[in-house]
Amino acid sequence: MSTHYFWALALPKSTKQTMHSQLGDVVEHFPFKRWVYWEDYHITFAFLGSAEEQKLRRSIELVGEAIENERTFLLNLQGLGVFGSKKSPRIFWASVKKNDKLMNLQSLVFKACLRSGFTLESRPFAPHITLARNWTGDDFDHNWLDTYNPYQEKLISFPANEVVLYKTNLEKIPKYEPIATFSLISE
């Protein structure tokens, strides 16, 4: 399998640890086949797939230029959600509260990747942090997303302060390796 690349908002290590810790209480209620290793939590901005070195270098240059004046901002986890079949979801994720600055940042990165020559997904950006994949239980009950939401009572806020180009290494843990990192301007 070829190596894949993607641009994402990195989460602070302490945020990832807190998320993982709070999830510990609800994992038993959500029998998914594969849980994402906590150090791999992120918010994907643009999935590039396999890529030529020249296109990657161009995307690094253009993303850096596009976001060079962007400032750090706060994000809040909001809840849980799923993608895929209603009875047997494919992806289990944590949602991020709607934030215009996040939407703008993703748009800047996405457009820079398009200008770099990449063909990207055309679905609207739905900010989320993938937690697990492939439901293995009986029919999924969507009420569980509220009932077992660990982020309702213990709100997690975190700074959005780094945009990263990641390389996927399927044989390693963590499997996402930073290739280029851009820090946003601190307030």
pLDDT tens, residue by residue, 69-87: 999 999 999 999 999 999 9
Active site positions, annotated: 42, 128
Question: Cβ(173)–Cβ(37) under 8 Å?
Answer: yes
The pLDDT value recorded for residue 152 is: 80
Secondary structure of residue 166 in the 3-state scheme? strand
Range of the domain at 69: 5-183
The 8-class DSSP code of residue 58 comes to H
- Matching residue, tokens 């986890």: 77
**Span 100-157, pLDDT tens digits:** 999 999 999 999 999 999 999 999 999 999 999 999 999 999 999 999 999 887 789 9
Number of domains in the chain: 1
Closest C-alpha among 172, 155, 170, 177 to residue 42 = 177
Cα-flanking dihedrals φ and ψ of residue 80, to 5°?
-120, 155
Model pTM score: 0.95
Considering the chain, what is the average pLDDT of its residues? 95
Sequence-distant (6+) residues with CB within 8 A of 28 are none
Which CATH number belongs to the domain containing residue 127 in this structure?
A: 3.90.1140.10
